[in-house]
Structure 1
Amino acid sequence: MSNPLYFPAWQRPHWQPSDEEILVQFYVFGEFQPIRVPSAQYGSDGLPEEVELTSHHHSALREWEGYPLKGALGDLFQSDAPEAFEKAMAAPQVLVLRGRFKDSADTGYLRDTFGVLAGLLDIGGVAVLDPQILSLFSADEWRQRYLIKDGAPLRNHVLILRDEEDDSDRLWIHTRGLRKFGRPDISLRDVPAQEIDRAGSLCQRLVELQALGAHFKDGQSLEVDGVFGGVTAELGGGYDDPRFNNTYVALHWPSEP
């Protein structure tokens, strides 16, 4: 790449020490050249020592209970990203990256990991799976999303979803992926359809605040522009929660007076 783009290591101005844990996990599908990963050109010093990289024959990985391209998840990826799914399925090799970190005052760990991901795409990678945001990208799609001058928006590292509430005309706005920043995901319940834009903006603002280090306390009141009384944060969940695979901050849109 003649004009490489570097991944930033954002400072986290709202950060305070905590017991939170950062988790990263990626699958890279391809047929890789046996050379040193060219991550330095992306501003990366290589994988952090906390990240383990394992190489697998794709045929062997298909037998693994947690293989992500089968079952309901496989159907989701095939439907949402058919080109990337086809390339991933045809790849003979899979590299799995997993890591856990203590809460950190900056995101250098993410810069270094993403630099290695970019380098792997330069030496034979054809698709990247980010299970934390339930997203499968072809190599070109991943580059377009993350190889951006001055760094991709924090929003690109998180998935924001909208679902209908059960037996209600209200909506549920929720996220996946904030484990990459060692923070709980957002669950915003009971949103009226006419407030969807305001609720989406609130959710994105809370994502960015947490990615930059903020913590929310159980029972904390949060002001929302145009919403009388704001909303109250309730902490819950855990890594075994199937909706998030993470802890979460639950918020409820106030009922109309």
Structure 2
Amino acid sequence: MTETQQTPEWPRPYWQPGAGEDALLQFYVFGKFERELVIPAQRYGSPGLPAGVELKRFQNLELRKWEGYPLNGSLGEILREDAPETFEQARIAPEVLVVRGQLADRASLDYLRDTLGVLAALLDIGGRAILDPQILGLFGAEAWRERYLVPGGAPPRNHVLILRSEEPGSDRSWVHTRGMRKFGRPDLSFRQIPAHELDRAGVLCEKLVEMQALGTRFVAGQALEVEGMPQALVAQPGGRLDDPEFNNRHVEFRWPF
């Protein structure tokens, strides 16, 4: 996305209708804003928030009383550790604008483009930090601009979090994503990855993030041929939207032994 009056469409060339998935967008913008909120989204090629996405305004002190307040609890601890200065900016900000919506799956990502344009504009009129809870990310204004105000649109990889952890009782690794729900797609899970295959798994994960963002779906039992691997990976869709590891459903691939 660039600061222009016209922003190209964001098509999804692999999209097919009929799966009934929904995309979920959720952001918190911390800052101090004028009483009358005039959002110059056109500066970023956005006509405003798409239908189905709403903006609600809260006093930070009042929102802090909410049980799900994102700067509290385990998420708050993660954010404080990862970005202490930005966390403090968000904590002391007088106001919070919550941008949230659920949208039916569709053939373009214009809904995401337009929402990002509004978020960029909010940083111009008093926003100091943006929280994306789906990827456990809290960004100061400049960090957010660097990540998302990219000519032609930030790559799908920038919209997700890729995590690695050790498999219990094993010397192998688990790689998985968070954030694919923005695209109305399940997150990705790669199990039992040997150490010497981690680089390959990371590259593959980024490629599948992009493919799903552009509309691809994986069905149960679908074989995924990977260059240089003797066996195909097999897709196993599952999970639920409230799974705390993903905040989403997921598709699992087990690395061949």
Same fold judged by TM-score > 0.5? yes
Structure 1 residue aligned with 2:189: 187
Structure 1 Cα separation of the partners of residues 15 and 84 of structure 2: 39
Residue 81 of structure 1 is matched in structure 2 by 83
Partner residue of 1:206 out of 205, 208, 222: 208
Structure 1 gap segments, 5+ residues each:
none
**Count of residue correspondences:** 253
Distance 1:246 1:223 in 2: 25
- Superposition TM-score, scaled by structure 1 size: 0.96
Q: What TM-score does the superposition give when structure 2 sets the normalisation length?
A: 0.96
Letter in 2 for 1:16: Q
Distance 1:208 1:121 in 2: 27
Deviation at 1:240, TM superposition (A): 1.2
1:12 pairs with 2:17: no
Shift of 1:230: 1.5
Secondary structure of 1:78's aligned partner = helix
- Secondary structure at 1:163 match in 2: strand
Give the residue type in structure 2 aligned to 1:109: Y
The yes-or-no answer on 1:53 pairing with 2:55 is yes
User: Shift of the alpha carbon at 1:148?
Assistant: 1.4
d(CA) in 1 for partners of 2:159, 2:73: 24
Evaluate the alpha carbon distance shift between residue 7 and residue 246 of structure 1 in structure 2; reply closer, same or farther with a 3 A threshold.
farther
Give the percent of matched residue pairs that are identical in Structure 1 and Structure 2.
58
Name which of 220, 237, 240 aligns with 2:239. Answer: 237
When the two chains are superposed, the root-mean-square deviation of aligned CA atoms in Å is: 1.2
The code of the aligned residue for 1:223 comes to E
Structure 2: runs of 5 or more not aligned:
none
Letter in 2 for 1:137: F
* Partner secondary structure for residue 23 of structure 1: strand
1:11 aligned counterpart, secondary structure:
coil
Match of 1:22 in 2: 23
What's 1:97 paired with?
A: 99
Deviation for aligned residue 1:8: 5.0
Say whether the 8 Å CA contact 1:155–1:207 is kept in structure 2: yes
Deviations 1:146-201 (CA, angstroms, capped at 9, x unpaired): 11122211110111111111111000000000000000000000000111000001
Work out the CA distance in 1 between the residues paired with 2:87 and 2:234.
40
Q: Is the partner of 1:126 in helix, strand or coil? A: strand
| Aligned equivalent of 2:33 | 32
Q: Deviations over 1:58-92 (max 9, x none)?
A: 00011100000011111100110112101101100
Displacement after TM superposition at 1:7 (Å): 5.8
Which of 105, 110, 117 pairs up with 1:108?
A: 110
**Do the aligned residues in 2 keep the contact of 1:174 with 1:186 (CA within 8 Å)?**
yes
2-side partners of 1:200 and 1:253: how far apart? 13
The ranges of structure 1 where at least 4 consecutive aligned residues each deviate by more than 3 angstroms after the TM superposition are: 5-9
